[in-house]
Amino acid sequence: ATAAQAITRIQEFCGQEFSNIAWALAVLLLAPMPLLDAIAAESLKKSQQWRPQELANTVWAFAKLGVPDLPLLESISAQALRPISSFSDREIANMAWAYSPCGEAARRVACEDAAAALAS
């Protein structure tokens, strides 16, 4: 019931609420796909305004649950590179760990984005 209620209000959520829900689900090892799909879809629209911790926690949660949503991971990877200097060591480590089990395509995108950021 709680997941269904969250889905009906998901458009009202901010970055911290998205990342908190995703993080809590990951800690509990719960993966209600309708809710995770809704989080991913809405996050694609809003993650540009998120803080580094919100980006890192969301990617970590999806990876921990084994739900590599490639469009979401690509979007967050691109968002993370813009303010990379504002990330804490822990946030960088969480991002790196999160992308490691996500499949070759997600790792490739993250590496290409990181290389482009370092080159500029």
Q: Name which residue leads in pLDDT, 12 or 80.
A: 12
The average confidence (pLDDT) of the chain is: 80
pLDDT at 92: 74
pLDDT at 105: 56
* Every domain of the chain and the residues it spans: 2-119
Q: What percent of the chain has pLDDT over 90?
A: 31
pLDDT at 39: 93
What's the pLDDT tens digit per position in 15-65? 999 999 999 999 999 999 999 999 999 988 888 888 888 888 898 898 889
Angle of helix 15-27 relative to helix 33-46, nearest 10 degrees, comes to: 150
Q: Name which residue leads in pLDDT, 16 or 89.
A: 16
pLDDT at 103: 57
pLDDT at 90: 79
